[in-house]
Amino acid sequence: MVSTIRPSRGHRVFQGVNGVILTLVVLVTLYPFANIVARSFSGEKEIRAGDVTLWPKGFNLTTYEIVFSDAMFWRNYGNTVLYTVVATAVAMVLTTCYAYVLSKHHLKGRGALVGIAVFTMFFSGGLIPHYVLITSLGLKNSVWAIALPNAISVFNLLVMKAFFESLPSELEEAAQIDGLSTYGILLRIVLPLSKAVVATMVLFYSVSFWNSWFSAFLYMDRTELMPVTVYLRNLLAGATGGTAAGAGTENLSQVNANIQAVTIVLTSLPILCVYPFVQRYFVSGVMLGAVKG
Amino acid sequence: MSSSTTSAPPPGIQEPPSAPPPRRRTRSPSPTGWRRALRKDWQLYSLAVLPLLFFLVFRYLPMLGNVIAFRRFEPGGSVFGEYWVGLRYVEMFLSDPTFWQVFRNTLWIGGLTLVFCFPIPIVLALLLNEVRRRSLKRFVQSVSYLPHFLSIVIVAGITMQMLATDGPVNHVLGWFGHDPVRFIQEPDWFRTIYVGSEIWQTAGWGTILYLAALTTIDEDLYEAARIDGANRWRQIWHVTLPGIRPTMITLLILNIGTFLAVGFEKVLLLYNPLTYPTADVISTYLYRTGVESNSFSYAAAIGLFEAVIGLVLITSANQLSRRTVGTGLW
C-alpha cells in the first residue's frame, strides 16, 4: 500500500489517512450523544418524521417538564445516590483493609489470602446460587443486596495492593518503633500517603455503582426502591414490548421515545460532568493495576 | 466511611526493635510457626476478617450453592437443596432443544465479539501511537474512552434510539431510498447490533493498556530498524507488535476466558421475544428459567456448565500460550 521507495511521501499519506480515521472515530463516538441531546429538546412531530440529527428541531422543554414532574424519577434518582454512597463506603473499607493485609509480604499465609481473592476472578458461583443466597439471607429490598455482594472488586483490590507495596517501608517501620499499632499505621501513615489511589478507588467504585442496574433489578421488588438506571430500563423495555405487541400505540411509544432521550441525558449527566476532570485518575489506576496485576 | 476498626492495642505486643522482622516467611513448617505469626501479626489478620467473610459468603458459598444443580431445590427451603437427584437436570438441559439453540447463539455472539472487539483496540492504539501532535492524541483518547464510563442501560438506550425507525440510521437509509428497518425487532440484525454497540463502548478504553505498553518500547530499537532500512510498516511489524505482544496475549487469554459469559446484561436489555432466535444466550436463558420461572435447579445446572466451560477455556488458553510463547497469566 505504501511505496517502499519513497517512505517520506508514504508517511505523509499515512498521516493524512490516519487523521481521517481518527476524526471518524471521534465523530462516531460523539454523534450518538449529540443526537440524543437534540432529541431530548425536540418536538414529537419532528422526531417522528426522523428529522432530528444534530440540532433540536421544534425546540421545546415539555418532555423535560414531564420527566421532572414525575415523582418516581426523582425518587429513583435519589436511590441511585444513596446506593452509590453506601455501597462505595462499604467497598472502600473492605478493599482497603484487605489490600493492606495483602501488601505485607512477610505475613504468613499471605499467598493463600491472595489466592482466595484471585480465584474468584476466574470462577464464579453463577447467577442462580447468588440469587438463592441473597434471597435466603433476607437481603432483598434493602441497600445491602446491592452493597454487600459487590463489596470487593478483585481488580481494584490488586490495584490498591500494588500501590501499598510501592510505599517505602521505612516510614511504617519507624512508626512501629514509635509504638503505633497496625491500625494506627494504616490510618495515620499509610492512608494519608495514599490519597491518590484512594481517590481513584472511590471513583472506580462509585462509577460502577452509579451505573449498575442488574442487582437492583433482581433484588428489589418495588419500583420506589429502584435506582434511576432501572427506571430507564423499564422505559426501554416498555418501548420494545409496546411495539412488539402491535402498532396500535404509535403515539404513546413516540412520547416514550422522547422521554427515553431525556432520561438518558439526565442519567448520564453526572458522569459526563465529572468525566473530564477525573479521567486521568482512571487511566493511572488502570495502569497501576496492569503493571502489577 | 469512618474507621471501622478500633485502635488502641496493647503496646506490649510489638516485637523488640532490636530484632528486625523476618522479610520472608520461614520455610520450616513448625507447629509453632502459625502461633508465632498470629501473636505477632494478629492486628493484620484481624483486618482480613471482614473481607474474608465477604469472600466466603458472597463468592465461595454460591460456588457450593451450585450443588442444587444435582439436588431438588424448594424455594424457601435450604440454599443447598433438599435431596439428591443425580444428573437429572444435566440430562434435562442436554436434551432440551432450546438449550442447544442458546448455546449456538452464545458461540456466535462470543465468537464475533472476540473477532472484532479484540483486534480493533490494537489497531486503534497503533494509529494513536503514530499521531505526532500530543494535544490531538489526548483529545482522541479522551473522547474514545468516554462510552466506557456509561451505564450499560444508557448504552442500550442510545443504541435503541439510534436504530429506531425514526433514528439517524434509518434517516441515512432513507437517503438511499430504503424503507425504514425495524432493527431492534429483526433477529437477523441482533448480532450486528450487539457487536457494533460493543465496539462503540469498548474500543477506545481497550487501547489504554496497549498505549501503556507502547510507551515502554525502547526508541533505540526504532532507530536501529531505520538504519537497517526498515520502513514504517516494517518497523511496526518487527518492533512495535513484538513490543506489545505480552499485553496482547494477556488480554486474549482473558477474552477467551469470558467467551461464554457474553454481555449478559446487554443482551437482556437489547433483546425481546421477537429476537430470541438469535439473541437468546445461555445466561439470559438460565435467568429466565431460574429467576422468572423458578426452575432454580435446572438453571443452576446450566450455569454450572457455563462456568466450568469458562474455567476450562481460560486454563487451556493459558496453557497454550505458555507452551507456544512462554508466557501466561499464571
A161 shares its domain with A233? yes
Which of B52, B151, B236, B268 to probe the A interface (max A CBs under 10 A)? B151
H or E element: which one contains A269?
A: helix A250-292
Domain limit, last residue, from A60, A82, A99: A60
Measured between alpha carbons, how far is A187 from B23 in angstroms, rounded to an integer?
Answer: 23
Give pLDDT, residue B11: 40
Domain limit, last residue, from A23, A44, A60: A60
B224 reaches A (C-beta below 8 A): no
A16 shares its domain with A147? no
A86 shares its domain with A53? no
| Nearest of A148, A147, A41, A166 to residue A99 by alpha carbon | A166
The C-alpha of A19 sits at a distance from chain B's nearest C-alpha, in angstroms, of: 8
Give pLDDT, residue A145: 94
B218 reaches A (C-beta below 8 A): no
Is B58 in contact with A149 (Cβ distance < 8 A)? yes
Tell me the CATH number at A239. 1.10.3720.10
Q: Going residue by residue through chain A (293 aa), what tens digit of pLDDT does each one get?
A: 444 444 577 778 888 899 999 999 999 999 999 999 998 888 877 777 777 778 888 888 888 988 898 899 999 999 999 999 999 999 999 999 999 999 999 999 999 999 999 999 888 888 999 999 999 999 999 999 999 999 999 999 998 998 999 888 888 888 888 888 889 999 998 999 998 889 889 998 999 999 999 999 999 999 899 999 999 999 888 754 443 333 344 445 556 778 889 999 999 998 888 888 888 888 887 777 666 54
Residues of B in contact with A7 (CB under 8 A): 231-232
A198 shares its domain with A89? yes
Q: What is each CA distance from A199 to A88, A196, A203, A277, A282, in whole angstroms?
A: 12, 5, 6, 12, 10
The C-alpha of A293 sits at a distance from chain B's nearest C-alpha, in angstroms, of: 9
Measured between alpha carbons, how far is A205 from A13 in angstroms, rounded to an integer?
Answer: 44
Instruction: Give the bridge partners for B84, in sequence order.
Output: B71
Identify the CATH class of B96-325.
mainly alpha
| Nearest of B249, B262, B264, B261 to residue B328 by alpha carbon | B249
Q: What is each CA distance from B195 to A277, B116, B291, B330, in whole angstroms?
A: 30, 8, 27, 30
Range of the domain at A165: 63-293
A12 shares its domain with A155? no
* 8 A C-beta contact, residue B199 and residue B121: no
A84 shares its domain with A158? yes
Domain positions in chain B are 31-84, 96-325
Give pLDDT, residue B7: 40
3-class SS of residue B84:
strand
A243 shares its domain with A105? yes
Give pLDDT, residue B259: 77
Measured between alpha carbons, how far is A132 from A118 in angstroms, rounded to an integer?
Answer: 24
B89 reaches A (C-beta below 8 A): no
Q: Going residue by residue through chain B (330 aa), what tens digit of pLDDT does each one get?
A: 333 333 434 443 444 444 444 445 445 555 568 888 888 888 999 999 999 999 999 999 999 988 888 888 887 778 788 888 888 888 888 898 999 999 999 999 999 999 999 999 999 999 998 888 889 899 999 999 999 999 999 999 999 989 988 888 888 888 898 888 889 888 999 999 999 999 999 999 999 889 988 888 888 888 898 888 888 788 888 899 988 988 888 888 888 877 777 788 999 999 988 999 999 999 999 899 988 888 889 999 999 988 888 888 888 888 888 887 777 777
B123 reaches A (C-beta below 8 A): no
A68 shares its domain with A43? no
A68 shares its domain with A105? yes
Domain limit, last residue, from A23, A43, A60: A60
Give pLDDT, residue A284: 80
Q: What is the total count of domains within chain A?
A: 2
Residues of A in contact with B300 (CB under 8 A): 126, 128-129
Which of A63, A77, A132, A215 to probe the B interface (max B CBs under 10 A)? A132
pLDDT, tens digit, 9 for 90 and up, residues A209-231: 999 999 999 999 998 999 999 99
Give the start-end residues of each E strand in A16-154: none
Interface of B with A in 166-185 (CB under 8 A): 166-168, 170-171, 174, 180, 182, 184-185
A52 shares its domain with A70? no
CB atoms inside a 10 Å sphere around CB A202:
17
Measured between alpha carbons, how far is A104 from B241 in angstroms, rounded to an integer?
Answer: 36
Give pLDDT, residue B29: 53
C-alpha cell at A229: 438506571
A48 shares its domain with A89? no
- Can you tell me which residue has the cell 418532555? A63
